[in-house]
Structure formats: C-alpha cells, structure tokens
Structure 1
Amino acid sequence: MPTSKASASAEQHLGPATNFGERPLTLAAWPTPQRHLKPDHAIEAEITRQLAAMSLAEKVAQIIQADIASITPEEAKKHKIGAILNGGNSAPHGRFDASAKEWLALVDSFWDETDEASIPIIFGTDAVHGHSNIAGATIFPHNINLGAARDIDLAKAIGVATAKEIAVTGMDWTFSPTVAVAKDLRWGRTYEAFSCDPSLVCSLGAAMIIGLQGEPDTKDFLGPDKVACAAKHFLGDGATQDGRDQGETNCSESELITQHAAPYIAAIEAGATAIMASFSSWGGQGMHGRHDMLTALLKQHWQFDGLVAGDWNGHGQLPGAAPSHAPQALAAGLDMYMAPDSWRALLASTLEVVAADAGLEARLDDAVLRMLRFKARLGLSKKGRPATRPLAGRFDLLGCPEHRELARRAVRQSAVLLKNENQILPLAPSQHMLVCGRGADELDLACGGWTLSWQGGGDVKGLFPGSQTLLEGLQAKIRSKGGQVTFDAAGHWSDKPDVAVVVLGEEPYAEFRGDCDTLAYRPGDPSDYQLIERLAAAGIPVVTVLYSGRPLWMNPALNKSAAFIAAFLPGTQAGALADLLVEGQMDFQGRLPFPWPAFSDHFDLCAVSPSRAPLFSLGFGLSLSDQVAWQPVHEQSDAKRHDPLTIFDRGIPQGDWTATLSDAAGSTSIRKPNLTGGTASHAGHMNLRAADFGQQENAWAIQWTDEACLSFIGPPLNLSREANADYALYLTAVTKEPEVIGVALLPQHHLDQPLAKFMTLLGSTAQQNHSFVIPLKRFAELGLDMNHVCQLVLQGREKSGLLLVKAYFAPMVAGSA
C-alpha cells in the first residue's frame, strides 16, 4: 500500500525508536465493534466547508483545550481556541464554593466572546460522580459503588441525572466515564473504576454513556438535556506496574485484548463521541504517542470517527516532548491537546511545525474534522448561548429531591455486608445507639476525591443542601421510633449504649495522590482499631461502616466487629445507609466489585491467577437472612505509615526525611533541636530551636547570623507527574525577611551544579494564609530533573530568621501562585 503524506509525516515525528514502542500490535487478533454511530451527511458536508474556510492558525487553535485558570474569554476569542475546561482545582474566582449561577456566567463569558459566524467553543468538566465541581449538586456514589450495585438501569439513570445538572450550568462535555479495568488495588483511581471484571465494566460503562448522551441514532441522542462523554483512559490504565498511576501497563497483548479493550468496544457501540488517551504506557511508549493504538487500532481497525482527546498535558510526557511542544502526539493520532496552562506556547510551536510540514497538516486536518464533527453532533451552533438553553439556569434541578432519592437508592444498593455475626443487623429502632468514628457526621470521607476540588476533602457539608450524613440518617430513623442516639466522634459515653455504630474511612484522594504501597487501612495509625477494641471490650456490640475507595486489609476491625459494611464512597446521601442498618423493609443487595484482601500485601488479588486466595471473593455479599459463622482471621501486617510528600511537620522531619545544618565549617545532622539553647551549625552561622505555632514545639525557629543552609534529605522522588498536575512546594512559615531567604529543590546528583541554579527567593513567591506556595513547574523551568528530587534547602543570610511549621508537596489551589 502506498504511504500517504500524512502517515509519512507521522513516522517522521514519531521517530523509529518510539513509533510503536517495544511491543507491536497484532491487529487481526483484536475484536471489532459491531455498531457505530451512523454518519450524518449534512454534518459531514458542513464540517468539510468549515475546514476549507479555516486558516492554519485557526486549525491549530481548534484542537487545543485551555483551563479557565490560565485563559480569559478575551484570549480565547483572540486565538479562536477550540475548547475550554475547568480542571479539578479551577473554579470561578478560584472559589470552590462558587454558586451555580457564577458557573453559568463563566461559561457564558467564553461563549459571548465567540463571533456568531465562528465555530462555537466547547466547555468540558470532570463530572465523575454527579456534577461534582458544583456546590449544591447531587454527589452520587463513585463508580466503585455502581460496580457493587450491578444495576445497569441505575447507572443509566445516574447518567441521565448528571447530564441534566451539567446542562443547568451550560456546560457541554464531561470527562467520564472511566472504563478502566482496575487490576491493582494500590492504584489511586481504583474507585473511579466499576470493577476488575471486564464484563461488568462493559455493561455499566455503556449504560452510563447512554444515560449521559442518550440512545444513539434517536431523537434523544445529545438533546438539550444531554452532554457529550469521554470514555477513558485508553488503554490499560488500570493495570500499571505496582498500581502506579500513569505508569507502565504490565500485561501481554492478549490480556490487553481480553481484559482492557472490551469496555472501549462497548463504549463505541453505546455511541461514545470521545475517547480520552491515557497517561500510561504499554511497551515502553506513552499512549499519547502510540500511532498503532490511537490511529491503527482505534480509528482504522475499530473505525471510531469521534474525538481522541488528550489528558492534562499528557502529550508533554512523551520522549522528546514538552507540554509546550509535542508534534509527535498529533502525528500519533491525538485530535485534541488538553493544554490547560501550556496552550500559548503549544499553539505557537505546533503552528510553526505544521507550517513547515504538509504531511502533518493533513493529519491536523483530520484532527480538526473530528473536533468539528464532535461539536456538530452536540448541535452547539443550534443550541446557542448556554444561558438560553432549556435547562440552563434551572438551579432547582441541582440536588433536587428526585436526584437525591436516586442517590439514596444507589447508596442502599451498593453497600456490601461482609459480616453479620449472630444476625445483629438489622438493629432495633428502640435501642440506645452510640454513633462514633471520624466519618459519622462528615461528608468528605463519604464523597472522596473529585468533590468540589480535585483531591476532595475539607468541610463540605454546608455546601450541599439536602445532604445527609450517616449520623443524621440514623437520628432520623431511631428517634422517630422512640430510640436514642448518642453521638461522640471519639466513642465516649455516660450511659452505656446497647450498640455502637463506628464509621471509619480513608482520607480523600484522587489520581496518583491515592497510590499506595500497602492495602492496610491507615498504616501506622491504630487509633480506629483501638476505638473498636475499646468498645468491644466494654461488651458493646460494634457495627463498623467503612468508607473507602478500594477494598482494604482491615482484619483487626473485622474480628472485633459484630457486623461490618463496606460502603465504599456513598456521596452526599450517605445517610441512606441507615435504611439498611435499622429494622425496616430494606435488605443488603451489594456484591463486591473487587476481591477483598486477606493480606496487606495482597497486590495480585485481581490478577487472572492470584497467588493467594482473597478473604472475600469478587461478587461476595451477605443478605440479612444469611447465617454465616465468623472464623477469626490473622491480624499481622508489616505496613507502616509513609507519606514521602510531607517533608517536615509537627516539629520533626517526616518518614525517611532527615535534616542537616550546613555552613562554611561543615555539616551536622539533626532530628530535634537541643532543648536548651537549640542546635547551631558548625561555625555558628545559624541556630535552630524548637518553637510553638498554635501547638507546643510543633515548629522550628531558625536564626541566621551568616550564610548557612538547613537541608532536608530524603529518598529520590519522581515528581514529574506532580509538576504536570500543578503541584507546589508549600512552606508553612513566618518570616520578616523573605527577600533574603532562598529555597531550592535538588536532584539526586547535583555536585557538579551550583545551588544557586535551582534557588528561588521566598520574597518572589505567592502566599496563601501562612504558606509560601512555590509551583513545582518553577523548579522545572530552572532545569531541575523532576524525576529524582531528593533534597529541600533553605538558605539564609546575616540577620534573617524563619519560623518553619510545615514543608510538603500538594496540589495548588487556583489563584494561589
């Protein structure tokens, strides 16, 4: 077959070493979709006409998506940018509590800067469990819960409700559903997956897509109450080595076909209009740059004519690429660059490359046509200004009673009963119940990540009217029947209760921030186990409810609890669990969407052939009538608490981080300052002593009399993902001399490079409350190798001082730096 100019150009930009990675595909072995969206000849004629009228600069701009925190409506108009998104940490005016009215006004502002004759701009959002960036919206249980419920109609109904609430704010597109088949529970995105069972992922993913977009080839499809979807992340993101997000998918091609491809075939057959490429790699090559995956397989073999979208600066992770320059991603088959903060430079560099390469321009034309087809299928031009659309401004639909009841149904259907000793459940409503535990009256643990912000967390209860915690649900059930509820988070009581309901949970997380190296619950922190043990020792039966984004090793709690419920991440209607716990008409229906670990290092649990049997198998779940005798399980775990992203806190270096004082005379290690007089560097150029900042001795007071350094040294960290994801170095500190105190991060091998090369002054950084916020991208721009960061240095000079409270890496809040 002759080689076209477009394919020849693709090979040129992909390069011989990276075109197909180390493992080529055998396309004949891959099954194909049996149903596709029908071509619309009127749409094809219109988008062909639009393409012919566009300049080269307009074409490039059309395939770029910028984030609201990094672009103004005026800039979007000037450059004719094709797409806008709000990232997980972006919101109107940087406020996560912004009203839906403010969101609609923001979406309108980008539309209003589009000329009537121009191609409409499209607005995308991460509505992954309801319209989850919007205060007051319905926050449904996460996908892991829907996998436990195993109800196709329920998944579709949640898609329908979510699409309506998105339409209220005028947005067009959600980056969901995740149709990954999660194979390692250490993965921080496990809860975004429906299951480790491909067939379950296929059916639930397809149902969600139809709920969001409507039934393909019907009048309902992408109507006024529907939004476009993006099935993600193509391909194999749920099976990376050691469960590391954005890592190397560790499986054969046959396993890739049988375990991970099927949900995308189901998504195409369900009418998916967009598919998002994965950060992950297979065969040593990132998916954003695999021509064989994006073009040969997805577009040609599977005949997918929709949009292949990139993920957050994912193109910049390819070999030889950067967020600002990645023609190889376009050549490989990417149709839209998600370039949230890199859009300006990417626009310029891509225009320059394409202008010099007619073959790559042909590939660009195909990408633009796909973007135009995507928008035309949505009918953006016909829908008009967001605020004028039928559901726009119908703020009464956000968190409406109908949607809240749907969420409650999902909560009830997805709770999995793992233990019910002597059939203690259901509880009699006439009892005196003690409700305790960190999750009993808080929504953040119940909602998890992707709730108002990327990582979730914080006091969100007041931002969701009509929400109900489990405590509130139990109070409503018990008090109406004459019983008594006592709430004490720490589990204390004056009158001994008949039963205790203990609500525990993981701290919220998202993406790689949730990656872990153990399946143990809260390693190194036995306080929740001690609470259960104390109650059980007092003769009080304990009913434990766990909020988590994955099955966790919790043998000590399982042994000492009379009943144990895996509620996963139930969302803002967690109180519906009370309908199952208290005597009534409801029974448990949930079945495990993943096996439950018998060991804290049970990492191959979801493999096709695991090395050890699970404690509870995939699909396990008791009903109230089941009588199963509990056999005590072992309680041995070597898991330890480990958070390498926290360097200094509570007055000491954390984890494996150590501290060193250095001046012209030498260096000395330090764990804690001397109680009397503090600890001085060798030549006395700096002195460090324990200090108070709201708590006793939780900070270090540093005083310099001459140039000297405080260094924190730890194991090498690969912070490349964090830099791409807008993480920052946070220094919670107080100083009157920020202009003379320098901060540097150093790579593992830096002896041949001067400290000043990587140094930035505190006086030049943004402040948020008591924290100095230094974007990791700033260090990357200074030439720091973000793959091997192992040292933080604070350098001061004569007559300068600093009170250091905490040093850590965390996501930036929009507008913080």
Structure 2
Amino acid sequence: MKLTYSSFLLGSFMSFASVNTVAKNDITLWPTLEPAIKKNAELETRITHLISQMSLEQKVGQMVQAEITWVTPQDVKKYHLGSVLNGGGTFLHNNRNASVSDWVSFMDELYLASMDTSQGGLAIPVTYGIDAVHGNNKFIGATLYPHNIGLGATRNPDLIYKIGEATAKEVLLAGIDWTFAPTLAVARDDRWGRTYESYSEDPEIVASYAKEMIEGLQGKVNTANFLDDDHIYSTAKHWVGDGGTYQGIDQGDNQESESDLIKNHAAAYLPALKAGVQSIMASHNMWNGLRLHGSKYLLTDVLKTRLGFDGFIVGDWNSHSKIPGCSNDSCPQAVNAGLDMFMVVEDWKAFIGNTVDQVKDGIIPVERIDDAVRRILRVKIRSGLFDKGLPSTRKYANQKQLLGAPEHKAIARQAVRESLVLLKNNNNLLPLNPNSEVLIAGDGAENMSKQTGGWTINWTGEGNIKSDFPGGTSIFDGIKQAVNKAGGNAVLSPDGSFDVKPDVAIVVFGENPYAEWIGDLKSIAYQAHSHRDAKLIESLKSQGIKVVSVFLSGRPLWVNREINASDSFVAAWLPGSEGVGVADVLFKDNEGNIQFDFKGKLSFSWPKYASQVVLNRYDENYDPLFAYGFGLTYKDNVMLNKLSTKNDFIFETPVNTPYQIMQGRAKGDWNYQLQSGGQTKDIHTPSGNIKGLTMIEADKNIQGDAKEFTWSGANNASVLITSSWYREDLSQYLINKSALTFDVRVETPPRNELYVQMGCAKGKCAELNISPMLKEFKLNTWNTVSIDLLCFAKSGVEFERSSAPFVLTSEGAAKIRVANIQFEPNAQKMATLKCSE
C-alpha cells in the first residue's frame, strides 16, 4: 500500500480527536511510593532555620537558575541565585577551549559570591548544572561514551553503572556538582529528534538502566558513598512523556491515556526514585494539551505526593514561558503547579521581581515558595555543598589526568564494542582478515563530529574537528591500527576511489549530528532523494568488491537500498570518542581468531517500510525488518534476501510551503559564513567570530532558534548563509510572488547602514539598507521584516542558481538577533519593502 503524507496526517488527526476524549485524571492508577531517604528531623530543622532567616527576595533567588552567558558572580551575590548552568551551545567566557583550571576558578568565584554575607546575604552555596549526558561532553578531551540508543543495545546494566561512576569523576574535576542526566525518555516515534537520547522504544531497558546510571553518578542511597566526594547528584529527565509526542514532534503533545503514560513513560522513574535521584527535570512536552511545566497534577499530585519525591523539580530551558499566559520573565502558573527551580536563562532578573510581586499580591502562596526552597536546600545539604567548601579544595578538583583517563576510555571502548548490532552478514564476510588490502570509504570514517553526534562540545555537535578530541580515535584510526599491525594496508578514500583494488571496502556513513527539534524528521527514509551513500556502495559492488557498511545514526532509518548493496551491515549508532572499538569487532586478530563477537541487540525495532515511523514491539500488526532484540553473532549463518526499495511514504511539498533558510541553524545544505577584511570563515558551530563580527546562539521561541550578531564597528563585516559548493534553484519563489521574511530583535541600534543582501554572480546585489526600519523598532522586542524578492531579482540576483539566499553587512556597530529566515509564498503585496510596483 502506498501511504501518502497527507493521508497519514489525516489518520493521525482522527486519532488525535479520539484521544482527547480520555477520562479525567485518575491518581489511583499510580503506585504509592515512600521517599528513598527517610525523613531526617535534624536536617529539616536546619532547613526551617535557614528559611526563617531569608527574605522573600532571597527565597525566590534560590528558585532561579541563570545561564552562564547572562550572569556574573556579582549577580549570584546580589540576587541570591540558587543555581547557574551553561546551555548546550555556550561556553565559559565564550571560550570552547576553556581549561579545567579556568572552570574550577569560575566555580570558586560563584561559590564565594553565594557565601558572601557582607551585605546581608545568607551563606547558601550555589549549585552548578551541566548536561553531561554521554560523558562530560562539554569538555575538550573528555571521554565520550556512546549515546543512549547505543547503550540500550548493550543490554549491560553493570556497564551503565561504570559509565555513571566515570562520568561523575570527569565532572567533579571541573568543580561542578550536578548533571542533567540520565535521560529516561522512551522514544515511540523514530522521527523524534531526540531518539538517540533514549535507551529504548520499550520501558523495559530504560527502567533497568535508570537505577544503575543514577547510582553510578550519585552513589548508592542510604550507604556511606551516597553523594560523597566521589559523586555528583543527578537529574532524571524529562518528566514525563517526552518520547511519546504526536508525530515525534519535539516539545509536542503526548496524547496517550494515563495508563499508557504510566506504562510507557513513567516506568523508568520508579527505579530512579528508589535509587534516590535528587532532581527531576520537567519536560517541554504537553500531555493531552497541557504543558508539563504547568501541570499541578503530574508535578505535585503524582510526582511529589503519590510517588514520594522529596528532591526538587527543575524546569527546562525557558519552558515555563510556553504555558498560556506566561512569558520568560513571569509564570506564577508554573510556580503554583509545583516547579521548584526555574531555568530562566536570560530574563531571570525580571523573573525574580515579578515572582516577588506575585507573592505579595497573593497570586502565589508563600507556602509554595517555602516548599520549593525547602526542597532545593534539602538537596544542597544532602549533596554536601554546605560542607565541601571551595570547589578548588575538593577531592577531584583540577585532577586533569582524569579527563579522558585511560581507565575511562577502556569503559567507553567496551561500550562501543557491545553496542554494535550486526544486521546482515551474508556469506559470513565478517570478521575480516586484517592482513588485507582494505579501502575505507564514506564521509563518516574520519569524521568525529558525525561519530559523536549531538550534545558534543556544542549543542548540536556540528562542526567539531578531530583536534577537539585529543586522545580520541576515529573509526578509521581503529581500522588502520588493526590492519597495519597485521601487515595489511588501509586506505582512506571517502569517495571510494582507489589505485589498488581492495580485498574489501568498509563504508562508514550516516546522519549528520543534530539535537532536539533540529533533528525532527518528516520521513525516516534515509537520503530519499539523493541516495548518495547507496550509490557509493553500489559503485563498489559493481566493481566486484565486498562491502561492509557501518551505519552511524541516532535512530533506526529505512535503508533498504543501502542494506541490499552491502554484504555486511552494522548499526553502529553514535559511538562517541572511542571509534577504535568498531575495529575490535570487525577484525580477527593476527592469528586469525575472533577478538570480540557482536553482542549488541536492537533496543529499537528496525523498519521494513518507510511508512513505519511508529514501530514498537507489542504493536498491533507488528512487522519490522529486524525485530526488537535482533542482532546476529559470528555463530549465525543467515542469508538476507533482497529487500524492497519502494518508498511507500512519499509526500510532496505543497507549492505554497515556505522555503526555510534559517531556524537557529542554517537549513538544508547551507551554512553560516563570516567575512571581514578579505578574511572568510565557514562556521559549522553554534557560535563564531571574525574581526569586527561575533555570532552566538540565542532564543526566540525555543532554545537555539535564533542567532545574535554583534558588529563592533571596527570594519566592514558580513554574515552569510551560503555554501562553498552548493547551489539551489529558487526561481519558483519568484513565480510564487514570495517575500524574504525574517524576525529581528534590536539589542543595539545600528550606528551606520545595515544591509540585507543576496549572493549573485556580479558580487553584491540589492544592498537594501534596513537601518532606518531597525531604529524605529522598540528595543529588545521581536518584529518581522519582509522584502519583496523582486527587489533582489531586479538588481541582478539569479535565483536559478542561488549561492547565498541571505546576507547581512554593516561597517558600524550594531547588535541584533535574527530568527526564522524564509521565503514566504504570496507575501509580495504585504512586504515591508516592495519592488513589484
């Protein structure tokens, strides 16, 4: 059956309509749990005494977590802030190469500021949160473990515990005490951009891992090692239902019944609570139309009361603002619902002022504030922050040798080996003889960015290069070591060309890195239009070469054509920094013996058809290509027949659909480029700079969906959305009477002209000065600009072969934020700047 995208949407809509008729909440469906740690009267008395000394402003300050870009140690002191974090795309002092000692020094500054009582402050240590989700992944040189989807394939809870222990030490060396991990999502739709953060499509594995990872990070509850000097406190996230949203849309609506929500998405939280997890992060998603950040039922009635959670609930990146009636700087609804600590990011000063006023006005009961502060103080005391002193004096502080320590790398290498899943091995091609002529092809073999995926150094994982991973190994490195050691020859050739015909080709390919909503898909068909990697494999096969495919991905994808062209096919997921682990399994040793057999078993069902975007075991009419739990070993002798390559999930882009150029990151094959004084820099990371111009990540509606550009005025400088190799025919948007539209927020008005341009064969075209318009806009508010595309066409832009669909240039000082750049069909008449008349 051919399933069109429109018919799929119709079916989903009908399902949505029926789901909204579910019965009202039923608390009796949930188990009743006691807190993992018995109530300590002495501790509670201590907390009561602290709260009695605090002003309302100090209490609300404890409930705020500000982002590192927008806060200083002086702010921590003045506003009594409870916590600081750094987002996925930001760095200490905007330096991605900040040293361990730099981090420890900054942690000292924050701590001293929080303990300063010279101006009436109360000495309450600040806590710092970091997303150490597959190792301490923000740090250059850290050990990076396979992402959760790969760990799910290992079926090894003991290994998860070891990873937690090792990660805690690599976090502690920076003076940091808290991580936003583990993710306990159960991804039910593989189009979701966070699927790789899920251990499995089924709660079975996720629940079995939750306790092990939390105990590895925190120590074992009610023992002497719980939250001792060897451990940090952890966060179970995201409560609850994040992996079950409609059509896999990130931050979307989970429409499951309450019993299914419990069975599928809450199951892993039960062992997490029993393991004594100290913080839980509320989820971005909705449950049947209600935002989790505003759900008193799920935050307070269920989690805190029924399930006995006595730690604190932390919000996710400005997610409270998505509740109707709320904004980044004001959300009494979330306070009253039970959110304890707010990740306010940038607008935290206004949030504190507004929340204080809302308490004084009776909108928020002071008892709710006191409960939130009690929970935060309880965790800070339990985790030893009141007793451990300066971060630089703690056991692991500045122990740089632990960053990427050999014993940690050995754990990661084992995790890589055990995460690999063998899907096809016709004629038992694997394991390979290392004493061979081996061609290594594909763009993933020597690509650490592709190998490590999202949440690696920066938020999306894009643009990282090999030097960012000192001591790490690419997949090619591992293959070369194994082959050279045996006297063979390994040749790296991404395009598959060769001078000497190889005995075997290993093609390493797959998804480019992404994070969260950026990674959402409409279809799970891999390279459905270009088929670039399939053509590479087929080309090698046509020359009589045996091919082993190593597929890098954050989810199962429909790759039937690629599987057909391969003799052996390995799902390698996102293996992390220790790519050498792949070669450990693919090759025999020098004596011809198997070194390591395949152990990995699918924790996600693998699709037979492109239409199987929702494919989970126990589904009605379950018909995968490879079932949950599948994974060949070298003992198996299984021949896989030819698979159908007909795509049954075809959808066409409607003619009136906008052409997206930028939404946080550049879309499609475009990338950012900065130009200044004859110098050009391609930017593949969330931030970058050149003389006279700086680009950083910013937010409009959700995390990272905007960019902030700052011109210093030192010289003429430009930011381009462009490509050094790619050209696209955008002429249809002229025919459709489109306008270039984008959202802009002026932080500092331009001192001189600021031009919007497009690339063209003749150089600069259509220098449209938007400075007068920008100066009219109210500062720090979002506005929309639209420009008739004819303004560019009449000035010589050739839309048939576009090289840069958006350029901003200025030689004067200015600071603006930009979001949602696109060509909007039929918007010509409404354009701010018109050229059609």
Superposed pair shares fold, TM > 0.5: yes
Deviation at 1:442, TM superposition (A): 1.4
Give yes or no for contact 2:617–2:628 (8 Å, CA) kept in 1. Answer: no
Q: Alpha-carbon deviation of 1:738?
A: 9.5
Structure 1 residues 361 and 759 mapped into 2: Cα distance closer, same or farther (>3 Å)? closer
Tell me if structure 2 keeps the 8 A contact 1:502–1:542. Answer: yes
Structure 2 distance, partners of 1:365, 1:45, is 14
Picking from 627, 630, 634, the partner of 1:617 is 627
Flag the 1:654–1:324 CA change in 2: closer, same or farther, 3 A.
closer
Q: How does 1:188-337 map to 2 (within 5 A)?
A: 188-337=193-342
Aligned to 1:726: 704
Query: Deviations along 1:690-723, whole A, 9 cap, x unmatched?
Result: xx9999xxxxxxxxxxxxxxxxxxxxxxx99863
Q: Which residue of 2 aligns with 1:430?
A: 435
RMSD of Structure 2 on Structure 1 (CA):
3.7
- The alpha-carbon deviation at position 642 of structure 1 amounts to 8.4
Contact 2:332 2:363 in 1 (8 A): no
Of 629, 632, 645, 1:635 maps to 645
Structure 2 residue 496 is the aligned partner of structure 1 residue 475: no
Question: Cα gap change, 1:545/1:635 in structure 2, threshold over 3 Å: closer, same or farther?
Answer: same
Q: Give the SS at the match of 1:573.
A: coil
SS of aligned partner of 2:345 = coil
Instruction: Classify 1:730/1:121 alpha carbon distance in 2 versus 1 (closer, same or farther; 3 Å).
Output: closer
| Aligned 8 A contact 1:23 1:283 in 2 | no
Taking a change above 3 Å as real, the CA distance of residues 226 and 120 of structure 1, as seen in their structure-2 partners, is same
Is the CA contact 1:737–1:800 (under 8 Å) kept in the aligned structure 2? no
Whole-Å separation in 2 of the counterparts to 1:721 and 1:816: 12
1:141 aligns with 2:160: no
Q: Which runs of 5+ in 2 are unaligned?
A: 1-19, 117-121, 589-593, 671-677, 682-696, 721-740, 760-768, 808-814, 818-837
Say which of 410, 418, 428 aligns to 1:413: 418
Q: What SS class does the counterpart of residue 578 from structure 2 fall into?
A: helix
Question: How far 1:541 moved relative to its partner?
Answer: 0.5
After the TM superposition, which residues 647-796 of structure 1 pair with which residues of structure 2 at under 5 Å, given as runs?
Answer: 647-648=660-661, 723-728=701-706, 782=781
* Residue of structure 1 in register with 2:581 after alignment: 576
Q: Decide which of 160, 164, 171 is 2:165's aligned counterpart.
A: 160
The amino acid of 1:60's aligned partner reads V
CA distance in 1, matches of 2:565, 2:523: 22
Amino acid at match of 2:288: G
Quick check: 2:698–2:704 contact (8 Å CA) kept in 1? no
How many angstroms apart in 2 are the aligned matches of 1:630 and 1:80? 63
- 1:601, CA displacement in angstroms? 2.2
Provide the residue aligned with 1:394 in structure 2.
399
- 1:750 is aligned to none
Q: Is the 8 A contact 1:22 1:284 kept in 2?
A: no
Query: The residue matched to 1:158 in structure 2 has which SS?
Result: helix
State the Cα deviation string for residues 564-608 of structure 1 (Å, max 9, x = none): 000101000012110100013210000001000112221221274
Alignment CA distance shift 1:393-1:611 (3 Å): same
Query: Taking structure 1 as reference, are residues 794 and 388 closer, same or farther at Cα in structure 2, changes over 3 Å only?
Result: farther
- The letter for the 1-side match of 2:112 is D
CA distance in 2, matches of 1:780, 1:524: 43
Using the alignment, how far apart are the partners of 1:56 and 1:483 within structure 2? 71
The equivalences for 1:62-81 within 5 A come to: 62-81=62-81
- Conserved in 2, the CA contact under 8 Å of 1:547 and 1:568? yes
Does the aligned pair in 2 maintain the 1:524–1:639 contact within 8 Å? Answer: no
Q: Does 1:43 align with 2:38?
A: no
**Which residue among 441, 444, 447 is the counterpart of 1:442?**
447
For 1:733-755, what per-residue CA distance to the aligned partner results, in whole angstroms no more than 9, with x for missing partners?
A: 9x99999x9xxxxxxxxxxxxx9
- State how far apart, in whole Å, the 2-side matches of 1:757 and 1:274 are: 36
Identify if the C-alpha distance between structure 1 residues 759 and 152 changes in structure 2 by more than 3 Å, giving closer, same or farther: closer
Secondary structure of the 1:276 match is strand
Q: How many angstroms apart in 1 are the aligned matches of 2:669 and 2:595?
A: 52
Query: What SS class does the counterpart of residue 50 from structure 1 fall into?
Result: helix
Q: Structure 1, residues 35-91: CA drift from partner, whole Å, max 9, x if none?
A: 622223322121111011100000000000000001111111111111000111111
Residue 609 (structure 2) aligns with: 599
Q: Give the corresponding residue for 2:466.
A: 461
Give the secondary structure class of the aligned counterpart of 1:338: strand
1:459 shift after superposition: 3.1
| TM-score normalised over the length of structure 2 | 0.79
**Counterpart amino acid of 2:632?**
L
Secondary structure of the structure 1 residue equivalent to 2:579: helix
CA gap 1:254/1:510 in 2 versus in 1, 3 angstroms:
same
Pairwise CA distance, 1:522: 2.9
Identity within the alignment, %: 39
> Is the 1:731–1:805 Cα contact (8 Å) retained in structure 2?
no
1:290-317 Cα offsets, whole Å, 9 max, x none, are: 0111011111111111101110001111
The one-letter amino acid of 1:725's match is Q
Q: Secondary structure at the match of 1:266?
A: helix
Cα shift at 1:360: 1.4
Q: 1:528 to 1:214 in 2, by over 3 A?
A: same
SS at match of 2:66: strand
560, 569, 575: which one pairs with 1:564? Answer: 569
CA–CA distance in 2 between the matches of 1:465 and 1:365? 47
Offset, 1:796 = 8.1
Secondary structure at the aligned position of 2:317 is classed as coil
Q: Which secondary structure does the structure 1 equivalent of 2:267 belong to?
A: helix
SS of 2:439's equivalent?
Answer: strand
1:72 partner letter = T
Distance (Å, rounded) in 2 between the aligned partners of 1:510 and 1:38: 38
Shift of 1:24: 3.1
CA deviations over 1:387-446 (Å, ceiling 9, x no partner): 110100001000010000000000000000000010000001111100011110111111
Q: Which amino acid is 1:600 matched to?
A: A
AA matched with 2:47: I
Displacement, 1:205? 1.6
Give the direction of change, closer, same or farther, for the CA distance of 1:341–1:610 in structure 2 (3 Å limit).
Answer: farther
Letter in 1 for 2:638: V
Scaled by the length of structure 1, the TM-score of the pair is: 0.81
The amino acid of 1:86's aligned partner reads N
Q: 5+ residue gaps in structure 1?
A: 1-19, 658-691, 696-718, 742-754, 810-814
Aligned residues, how many? 709
Aligned partner (choices 367, 380, 403) of residue 375 of structure 1: 380
Alpha-carbon distance between aligned partners in 1 of 2:383 and 2:486, rounded to the nearest angstrom: 51
Instruction: Work out the CA distance in 2 between the residues paired with 1:656 and 1:457.
Output: 13
Aligned residue type for 1:49: H
Q: Deviations over 1:223-281 (max 9, x none)?
A: 11111111011010100000001000021111111111111111101111111100101
Matched to 1:591, the amino acid is K
State the Cα distance separating 1:168 from its structure 2 match.
0.2
Distance 2:604 2:640 in 1: 21
Rounded to whole Å, the distance in 2 between the matches of 1:58 and 1:392 is: 29
Instruction: State how far apart, in whole Å, the 2-side matches of 1:596 and 1:779 are.
Output: 51
Distance 2:788 2:112 in 1: 47
Deviations 1:308-338 (A, max 9, x none): 1110001111011001110100000001111
Structure 1 residue 208 displacement after superposition: 0.5
C-alpha separation in 2, matches of 1:757 and 1:87: 23
CA change 1:759–1:223 in 2 (3 A) is closer
Name the counterpart of 1:87. Answer: 87
**Residues 420 and 599 of structure 2 are in contact (CA less than 8 Å); yes or no, is this contact kept in structure 1?**
yes
Name the CA distance, whole Å, in 2 between partners of 1:139 and 1:72: 29
